[in-house]
């Protein structure tokens, strides 16, 4: 490939701050349109000193390692179930945390490498430096060795994402770990307290329990805020049945280290201080955008006073040549595929006359709790708020996955829900599913929803038998009817 020359007075056409999913997607797309692009990526070590390579949160300390550890937990479950399917599984099966961490980290490193190769192949310059604004067209890259490099660009994309937020109580930063650290933890976590019940907290508690560790989730108020309440209650029930403990309505007040090396956690609940001893305390009380670290004022950038994030119009900030995608955006879903899509469309609009804008509605997602929860569209509460209870219909059903019968797995929490407008042809507003492989189930329905799925379509769709996804084509009981949504069974 011939060297690409920037088209104007600047060093580059596009400077991307942050080599995560969103930034890299936009950078790759922009070079495809003949633009000269540089990507800055730098990982500030976590409080515990953990760092990682290029690729951002998802690859290094998010979706990828989380899914792998979730899979490790599911395999443990399968090993036990295998006995009831005729496999002679020895009683002494055991799990090795260090082996899992090594395998997960090796996979991550291989992805880091592939990313570097892609950048080289696409002629994108990569700078391992922390980008700080000097003005609207100038960014200073601060390298690890103290060296600085001043880079100018016509357009700048902020894609720095976020990092775990540490709540403010004594001992928190000193003794607690976060999702930044858990996937590379060199020793087994042991009895773990997870503070926070968002999806990250629940997923971590879920896989740790599945791997055989004791896990407790401390919840200040609501579990999985923003998700459908009926579904959340079942996710919680399933986790409890698998041995995860929940401390609800408690706020941590102090963590200290005991002479025996264990962590003593104190919390406020019911107006009295309670305490417990744990080997590991993981805080997952939300994430904070890395906007301040950019020195946004120098470029004239405004950040939202509460979230500290950027409010954008078609990914454009208040400074016309500065754009933002991904987790730094105010009130946008913090999801890798959202950032990727927004980054790609932005590059197409900026450099290829594209007209398409990012549609942030109806983005499907999945919580990889022990029994997964996948959803797309509105929750029941959101649908009621938007259309009123009289104008919507909620179809629901409990179901029994065929493969659950033989090992007599718990089917009590396998449940799904379809929320539609009441008026024919009953446009589907939201779909919710709890069960194995929920992400795989819901992805296809997300495409259907995008295409204007109605309940009539769903009813006229022939299912694949025997699958769990076909349950969506069979659902017919409405909440309004008060009929029992539980299926017939032979025993139990």
Binding mask 55-94 for other proteins (x = CB under 8 A): ----------------------------------------
Backbone phi, psi, residue 198, to 5° = -80, -175
31 binds other proteins (CB under 8 A): no
186 binds other proteins (CB under 8 A): yes
50 binds other proteins (CB under 8 A): yes
Query: Which of 110/481 has CB closer to other proteins?
Result: 110
CA 488, CA 492: separation in Å to the nearest integer? 11
Rounded-to-10 torsion of CA 204, 210, 211, 213: 80
Among 71, 82, 417, 52, residue whose Cα is nearest residue 231: 417
- 123 burial (CB, 10 Å; 0-12 / 13-18 / 19+) is middle
Give the shortest CB-187-to-other proteins separation in angstroms.
10
Q: Using the rule CB under 8 A, which residue among 45, 170, 243, 300 binds other proteins?
A: 45
b (16+ CB within 10 A) / e for 254-289: bbeeeeeebbbbbbeeeeeeeebebbbbbbbbebeb
Length of the chain: 492
Q: Using the rule CB under 8 A, which residue among 83, 120, 144, 257 binds other proteins?
A: 120
CA 23, CA 339: separation in Å to the nearest integer? 8
End-to-end Cα separation, the chain, in angstroms? 67
Residues in CB range of 340: below 8 A, 6 or more apart: 21, 22, 25
Query: Which of 34/45 has CB closer to other proteins?
Result: 45
Among 198, 208, 271, residue whose Cα is nearest residue 235: 198
CA 448, CA 457: separation in Å to the nearest integer? 9
Selected range binding other proteins among 117-125, 141-149, 197-205, 319-327, rule: CB under 8 A: 117-125
481 binds other proteins (CB under 8 A): no
Query: Which of 67/220 has CB closer to other proteins?
Result: 67
DSSP category for residue 391? G
Q: Using the rule CB under 8 A, which residue among 184, 236, 365, 369 binds other proteins?
A: 184
Query: Which of 1/462 has CB closer to other proteins?
Result: 1
Q: Using the rule CB under 8 A, which residue among 6, 67, 74, 107 binds other proteins?
A: 107
Selected range binding other proteins among 113-121, 228-236, 388-396, 470-478, rule: CB under 8 A: 113-121
Query: Which of 189/343 has CB closer to other proteins?
Result: 189
Q: Using the rule CB under 8 A, which residue among 116, 149, 304, 457 binds other proteins?
A: 116
365 binds other proteins (CB under 8 A): no
Give the shortest CB-205-to-other proteins separation in angstroms.
22
Our CA angle for 372, 167, 72, nearest 5°, is 30
262 binds other proteins (CB under 8 A): no
Query: Which of 48/288 has CB closer to other proteins?
Result: 48
Beta carbons of 185 and 43 less than 8 angstroms apart: no
Beta carbons of 22 and 58 less than 8 angstroms apart: no
Taking phi over 0 as left and psi of -120 to 50 as alpha, with beta for the rest, 138 belongs to beta
144 binds other proteins (CB under 8 A): no
Query: Which of 111/264 has CB closer to other proteins?
Result: 111
Would you say the C-alpha torsion 403, 407, 408, 409 has a positive or negative sign? negative
Give the shortest CB-261-to-other proteins separation in angstroms.
17
Among 157, 154, 51, 160, residue whose Cα is nearest residue 112: 51
The reply to whether 432 belongs to the active site is: no
Selected range binding other proteins among 16-24, 111-119, 291-299, 316-324, rule: CB under 8 A: 111-119
Size of the site for other proteins (CB under 8 A): 20
Query: Which of 104/247 has CB closer to other proteins?
Result: 104
- 413 burial (CB, 10 Å; 0-12 / 13-18 / 19+) is buried
Count of CB atoms situated within 10 Å of the CB of 2: 5
Annotated binding residues for FAD, written as ranges, equal 67, 131, 327
Give the shortest CB-127-to-other proteins separation in angstroms.
13
Q: Using the rule CB under 8 A, which residue among 83, 109, 357, 391 binds other proteins?
A: 109
52 binds other proteins (CB under 8 A): yes
Pairing of strands 251-257, 245-248: unpaired
Give the shortest CB-425-to-other proteins separation in angstroms.
51
Helix axes 21-32, 336-351, angle to 10 degrees: 30
Q: Using the rule CB under 8 A, which residue among 6, 105, 321, 486 binds other proteins?
A: 105
51 binds other proteins (CB under 8 A): yes
Q: What residue ranges bind other proteins (CB under 8 A)?
A: 45, 48-52, 105-107, 109-110, 112-113, 116-117, 120-121, 184-186
Known catalytic residues are 465
């Amino acid at each position: 490939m011939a060297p690409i020359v920037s088209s104007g007075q600047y060093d580059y056409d596009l400077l991307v701050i942050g080599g995560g999913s969103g930034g890299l997607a936009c950078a790759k797309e922009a070079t495809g349109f003949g633009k000269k692009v540089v990507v800055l990526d730098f990982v500030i070590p976590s409080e515990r000193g953990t760092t990682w390579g290029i690729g951002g949160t998802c690859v290094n300390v998010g979706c990828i390692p989380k899914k792998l550890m979730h899979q490790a937990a599911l395999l443990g479950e399968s090993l036990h179930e295998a006995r009831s399917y005729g496999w002679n599984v020895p009683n002494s099966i055991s799990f090795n945390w260090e082996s899992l961490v090594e395998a997960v980290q090796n996979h991550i490193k291989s992805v880091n490498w592939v990313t570097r190769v892609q950048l080289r192949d696409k002629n994108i310059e990569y700078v391992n430096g922390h980008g700080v604004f000097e003005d609207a067209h100038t960014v200073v890259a601060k390298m690890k060795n103290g060296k600085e490099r001043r880079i100018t660009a016509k357009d700048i994309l902020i894609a720095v994402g976020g990092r775990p937020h540490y709540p403010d109580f004594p001992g928190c930063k000193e003794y607690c770990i976060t999702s930044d650290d858990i996937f590379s933890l060199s020793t087994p976590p042991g009895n773990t307290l997870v503070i926070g019940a968002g999806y990250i907290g629940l997923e971590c508690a879920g896989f740790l329990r599945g791997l055989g560790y004791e896990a407790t989730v401390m919840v200040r108020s609501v579990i999985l805020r923003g998700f459908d309440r009926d579904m959340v209650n079942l996710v919680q029930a399933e986790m409890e049945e698998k041995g995860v403990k929940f401390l609800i309505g408690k706020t941590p007040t102090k963590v200290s280290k005991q002479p025996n090396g264990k962590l003593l956690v104190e919390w406020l609940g019911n107006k009295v201080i309670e305490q417990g001893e744990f080997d590991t305390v993981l805080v997952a009380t939300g994430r904070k955008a890395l906007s301040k670290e950019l020195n946004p004022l120098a470029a004239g950038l405004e950040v939202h006073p509460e979230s500290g994030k950027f409010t954008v119009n078609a990914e454009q900030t208040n400074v016309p040549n500065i754009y933002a995608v991904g987790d730094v955006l105010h009130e946008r879903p913090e999801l890798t595929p959202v950032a990727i899509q927004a980054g790609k469309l932005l590059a197409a609009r900026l450099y290829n006359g594209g007209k398409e804008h990012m549609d942030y509605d109806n983005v499907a997602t999945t919580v990889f709790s022990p029994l997964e929860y996948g959803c797309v569209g509105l929750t029941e509460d959101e649908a009621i708020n938007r259309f009123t209870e009289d104008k919507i219909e909620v179809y629901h059903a409990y179901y029994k996955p065929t493969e659950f019968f033989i090992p007599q797995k718990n089917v009590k929490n396998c449940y799904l829900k379809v929320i539609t407008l009441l008026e024919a042809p009953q446009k589907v507003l939201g779909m919710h599913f709890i069960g194995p492989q929920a992400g795989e189930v819901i992805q296809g329905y997300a495409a259907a929803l995008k295409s204007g799925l109605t309940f009539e379509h769903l009813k006229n769709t022939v299912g694949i038998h025997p699958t769990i996804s076909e349950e969506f084509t069979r659902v017919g009981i409405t909440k309004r009817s008060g009929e029992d949504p539980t299926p017939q069974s032979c025993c139990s």
